[in-house]
Chains A and B, each alone.
Chain A
Amino acid sequence: MPEDTDTDSNDADTRADGAGPGIVPPDDETPTWSERKERTEGLARLTYEYFERSRREDQDLRQQSSYVERDVLGFPTWPHEMIRNLALVSFFVGMIIFLAATLPPHLEPPANSSKTPAVILPDWYLYWSFGLLKLGFLNPDLSLLGGQKLMADRTYGVLANLVVVGFVAIVPFLNKGSARRPVEQPFWAAVGMSGVVFAITIAILSVKNLMPMSTGLLQDLTFLLPFVGGFITYAVLKAMREGYMFNLNRRYYRLRPPK
């Protein structure tokens, strides 16, 4: 092991850490950590260069900024913020206990595999997923396969779940830019609103045998209402946007009058 390091380079003495004669105390010729990092190659070198750049960028941004640090910028964490948080926590826990005391759960009869109940439902937060399982009517039967379906209805429903969750997951990579408020981005607010409406309508579809209307109408409404909701949201936000931008500009120019 020591022979290897000695033969392959003549600056082996500068790399004595952990090899050779043992740990050597640093002298003037011992490279500093930043020098060592500068001498590296490949990915390590690339990492070092990138971090140096980003540190410099950070420094530049800080120097350009007009932000002034003041002595007291807000309330101290302890005790002010903590006492406020404690009050909020007590309130919320109290709310849960109040709900638990006033609306206790009940227990169904014991499990019986030979007696199917009239209504089978998961908990409310899975209704949307349960509704997606009943989308078999959208599963196309291909004439190419002689009227057969490419996949079973229930496979179709499970895949619909994956599609919905997948779409929600990629939203940050579709909607970019600095707009934050719904008025600033009416389209994405409309998409969100139609998503909310769809979650409700698909949940209703999951209990279609309890709804007092024909299945066909219910299925149409399930997909129509989200679009209606989205369009209304879009129209309202577009109308609001005019007045909103006017106010925003007025505030801006009041604070910083044009020269």
Chain B
Amino acid sequence: MSLERKDEHDQKAWMEERDLTPVEKQYLIVLMWLDKRLRIVDYLEILEDMYYKINLQMPKSHTEQYNLDNKFWYWYPLYALGSFSTLAYVVAAISGALLGFYYAPAASGAAGNPTVAYNSITFIMTEMNFGFMLRSIHRWSAQVMTAAVFLHMLRVYFTGAYKEPRELNWLIGIVLISLTMVFGYTGYLLPWDQLAYWAGTIGVNMSLSIPLVGEWVAQLLFGGFTLTQATLQRMYILHVFFLPFVVTTIIAIHIGIVWMQGIAEPH
């Protein structure tokens, strides 16, 4: 009887006694290294579950089961609008991240002179390779997303898809469509050209008109009662930091609920 602890789980010996190909051996070494540190085995069930989910066969839909395709085929493209808006959101996120490398949210300079922000947009559009195209793609994906979101809402309304048990998702959808418009508005202000400036002025006046909390809202969103550097900076942070996190999270919840409840198919 030796004092040395006997290893019942001598994985190395077990591995050597087996006749493994180099690929299998390498795989096992990596797997064991990770498992010793992270106990992957505890999560094996989840991984297995995911594996089977990937190979899942989609159940027959209501329309397939009752052979209603001949009656409803013209509805089907309208059922893609939600995915389409998500897709446009992804395109906007990618192109926006690339634009963010070149844009600076600084409104310094006298009135009427190009500001730093305006100059960076000019640089993107005239000097940067594919910069004009990049801005164009960002703008158009935003436009397409907004349009798709509106049409998506109409589709949900006219097919009665908001009814029980989907009321909660309808409410989340209204929050999302509002945030999408805020997204668009904050982005509209970033070039700091004439359109942006005067749209911003209207925005400040609108928030000042809210009863009771108007001045507070104007301070919070626009950083004051007139348009200054603070306004541009706030719009920038809302557009590239705050809203992306919030909207992405809510989109994930929105789609997750659709996944759990199933698509409200035509009946």
Contacts and interface: CB of A to CB of B under 8 A. Distances in A.
A104 B111 contact: no
Interface string A80-104: 0100000011001101110111011
Contacts of A111: 107, 111-112, 115, 118, 192-194, 196-197, 227
A168 B202 contact: no
Given A100-B136, A108-B193, A111-B194, A126 B209 contact: no
Nearest to B95: A100
Given A115-B112, A154-B209, A92 B267 contact: no
Interface string A136-160: 0000000000000001101101110
A179 interface: yes
A256 interface: no
B75 to A, nearest CB: 9
A123 B113 contact: no
A158 B210 contact: yes
A149 to B, nearest CB: 13
A15 B194 CA distance: 71
Contacts of A112: 111-112, 194, 197
B137 A97 contact: yes
B174 A169 contact: yes
Interface in A177-218: 177-182, 184-185, 188-189, 192, 196
Contacts of B185: 122-123, 126
A192 B170 CA distance: 15
B159 interface: yes
A173 interface: yes
A179 B133 CA distance: 46
Contacts of B205: 154
B57 A73 contact: yes
Nearest to B178: A165
B5 to A, nearest CB: 24
B266 interface: yes
A74 B59 contact: yes
B266 A180 contact: yes
A165 B211 contact: no
Given A112-B194, A112-B197, A125 B60 contact: no
Contacts of A122: 185, 188, 199, 202
B80 A88 contact: yes
Given A99-B144, A120-B202, A126-B185, A77 B54 contact: yes
Nearest to A105: B139
B84 interface: yes
29 contacts: A73-B59, A74-B64, A75-B58, A76-B55, A77-B58, A78-B54, A81-B58, A92-B87, A100-B133, A103-B136, A103-B140, A104-B136, A107-B122, A111-B227, A116-B198, A122-B188, A123-B146, A123-B188, A152-B209, A154-B209, A169-B170, A169-B171, A172-B164, A176-B164, A180-B161, A181-B159, A181-B160, A192-B154, A196-B154
Given A77-B54, A120-B195, A182-B158, 8 more contacts: A74-B64, A77-B55, A105-B135, A110-B192, A112-B112, A120-B202, A176-B164, A180-B159
